[in-house]
Structure formats: structure tokens, C-alpha cells
Amino acid sequence: MTETRLRLEDVRTQIRHGNLAPVYFFYGEEDFLQERLEHELIAHVLPPEAQVFDLDRFYGPEVDGERVIAACRSVPVLGSRRVVVVRQMHRLPRARMLGAYLERPAPHTVLLLRYEGTPNFAQPPYRWLQETAVVLEFRPLYEQQLYGWVREEVRARGRDIAPEAAMLLVGYVGSSLRALDQEIEKLCLYVDGSSVITAEDVEQLVGHSREYTVFELQKAIGQGDFDRAYRIVEHRLRNASVALGEALLMLNWLGRYLLNLWKLHELRRMEASEEEMSRQTGINRYFIKAYLEDLRRYPPERLASAFLALEEADRALKSGHPLGPAGILQRALRKMENFSITPMG
């Protein structure tokens, strides 16, 4: 039998229609989506009253392969199915024992195995899982995917969110879906009675409680406070689950910020109104004045140098430069601070 590797939405659709596989294997860095699909799978297989008797959740370090198999072979107490979940499978002793079970899984059991990170699929039991299980990878979302995810989550709660508000929320909170989900829940309660979450709502509820956000990084650079910018970058990378992804997120955000400053220079030369500036750039009018203040510190020639610094950092990150994400971003900030165009060695 060949590996079944599907998209997240494909698996969710199959689960909702009761088209269940005997074994699922979830792996990757994005644990929040893994956890959410785990709960969805359990809810569709077992009613709440059956979960007390027919649901087993294990953590790899606390059991071994033999005990997992015994749980899978156990007969359901209520209904016709059981669910067995193993989290932290990468720490499961005697995991190779699962090989025999994967060849003949119990027809009454849905087994979900969760792995943090990416396994070596050339080694058992992961090679066997490729051949027998539904395999689903959970990667961290890219920046543009984060905005769409935020909008979908807000709409699922019966609200809508303005595009600039979604961008601002991601800028404040970062790429953690778990943290974003928590802030979305607060925002939906905060705007009770209103159908649309605005940038002002995000600023009021989320912004004042965040010190190390992408938006704060943007403000620090715009205000010429590079000491604070270095601290924010160091803090975010130190606490990121995937430093490379976090570094790219910060670069993308800063690149968009600099591009808006460039557009505002041209619009101001054309004597455009603040309303027209907002329309042309997509910046909420609430923030236009702050951007215009930043223009004083970033004349066109300094912006051109800053763009070069970000482009160089982007190439270095994607090519695996030995400086690493922290060193690459610090180098880019120094160039922006000192108005340097010296290429990276």
C-alpha cells in the first residue's frame, strides 16, 4: 500500500463525512493545528459519553509501543469504535513494535500518532507509516497565509475583520496560531455588538499589552530607536519555535513598511491629502500621521539603502548564511541605522 498524503482540508472533509482511516500520522512544527484536528477527529468518532471509556491519550515518554498496541486491540465499551492518541511519538520507547500493528490495524480503532518536528522517513516505524497511514504535515504558515487564517477564524465566530486590522494583529502577536486564536477570541468579545473588527479595535485591545511585536519593531525603526529594535529582534528570535520563519516574517513586515514610506514620499510630493494617501497605500488613516513623521528620518536615499539591507538579509536567510537568523538581522539593522551599502561578507 502506498502513502496517503493529503491536505489539511481534505482530511477534515473526510473526517466530517465519516470516511475514517485506521491510522493517522501528524507531524510538523505547527502544533496548534495538530491539536485542533485531533479534537475534531475525536469529536466525530466518539460522542462525549463514550470518550470516558473509549478514548486513550498517551504521551510518548509515559508508555511504550506494546501498551499502545494493547489499547488499540481493546474492545470498545460503548458503541463500535475506539480512539487512541499518542502525542510526542518521537519519545515513544519500542516504537518499532507498531510495525506489526500497522500491517493489520484493529478495525474498531482509530489510531492517531503525533510527532513534533520532522521524522526520518527512511527509518522505521516512519517508513512503515508512509506506506500504511494517512500522513499529514503541519508547517508554520507564511505571512500571507496568516492574514487569511485570521480572517477565517474571525468569520467562524460570526464577525469580520478589516484587512488592515488582520495585518496589525499579526504584526502585534506574531506567527503563533495559538496566541492569535486567543487574541481573536478577546477581540470578538470586545467588539460585541459590532460586526467588523477594525484596526483601532486591535490597537486598543492588543497593542498596549505587547512590547515585542513586529509593529513595535517597525515603530522603533521609524523613530530611529535602534537599541529597542535590536532588543525586539533578539527577543522574538529567542522565543520563536522556528527562528528562520520568524526572521522572514520580520523582514517581510519591514519591507512592506519601507515600501509604504517610499509611496508616501511620492504622494507627498504630489501634495496628496491624507485620505488619498490612505487609499493609495492601504494604511488606515489612524496611522498615517505616524508614517509621515517617520519620513523625516528616511529620505529617499536612506530608504534605498534600507531596501538593499533587507534584500541582502533575505537572500542570506534563504541560502543558510553561517551568521544565522540573529546575526543576519542584526547586520541588516546596523546597515539601516548607519545608512550603509557595504555588501555582506
Residue 209's pLDDT is what?
53
Place of cell 551568521: 323
**Which triple of cell numbers denotes residue 181?**
486564536
Backbone φ, ψ for residue 135 (5° rounding): -105, 130
The full set of domain ranges for the chain reads: 4-137, 140-209, 211-345
HSE-CB of 40 using CA atoms within 13 angstroms: 17
Q: Residue 297 in contact with residue 312, Cβ under 8 Å?
A: no
Q: Residue 71 in contact with residue 57, Cβ under 8 Å?
A: no
Residue 208's pLDDT is what?
55
Closest CA to 83 of 103, 108, 60, 64: 108
Residue 340's pLDDT is what?
56
CATH 3.40.50.300: does it fit domain 4-137? yes
Residue 252's pLDDT is what?
85
Q: What is the CATH number of domain 211-345?
A: 1.20.272.10
Cα separation, 83 vs 92, in Å, equals 18
Cα separation, 239 vs 245, in Å, equals 12
What is the side-by-side strand order in the sheet with 23-28?
4-5, 134-137, 23-28, 109-116, 82-87, 55-59
Backbone φ, ψ for residue 12 (5° rounding): -60, -40
Prior bond to 107 cis, omega within 30? no
Burial 6-42 (b: 16+ CB within 10 A, else e): eebeebbeebeeeeebbbbbbbbebbebbbbbbeebb
Residue 202's pLDDT is what?
86
Residue 3's pLDDT is what?
42
**C-alpha dist (Å) from residue 172 to 46, 66, 166, 237, 249:** 38, 46, 10, 15, 12
Where would I find the H helices in the chain?
Answer: 8-16, 31-45, 48-54, 65-73, 98-103, 126-132, 143-156, 163-173, 177-190, 199-205, 214-222, 226-239, 243-269, 274-281, 285-295, 300-319, 324-338
Q: Residue 109 in contact with residue 23, Cβ under 8 Å?
A: no
Q: What is the CATH number of domain 140-209?
A: 1.10.8.60
**Which triple of cell numbers denotes residue 243?**
527562528
Q: What does each of the 345 residues of the chain score in pLDDT, given as a tens digit?
A: 334 457 888 999 999 999 999 999 999 989 999 999 999 999 999 999 999 999 999 999 899 999 999 999 999 999 899 999 999 999 999 999 999 999 999 999 999 999 988 999 999 999 999 999 999 999 888 877 888 999 999 999 999 999 888 888 887 787 889 989 999 999 998 887 778 998 878 877 876 556 777 778 888 999 999 999 999 999 888 877 778 888 888 898 899 899 999 999 999 999 999 889 888 887 767 678 889 999 989 999 999 999 999 999 999 999 989 999 999 999 999 999 987 545 444
Please tell me the pTM assigned to this model: 0.63
Cα separation, 222 vs 218, in Å, equals 6
Length of the chain: 345
Give the number of other Cβ atoms within 10 Å of residue 319's Cβ.
Answer: 7
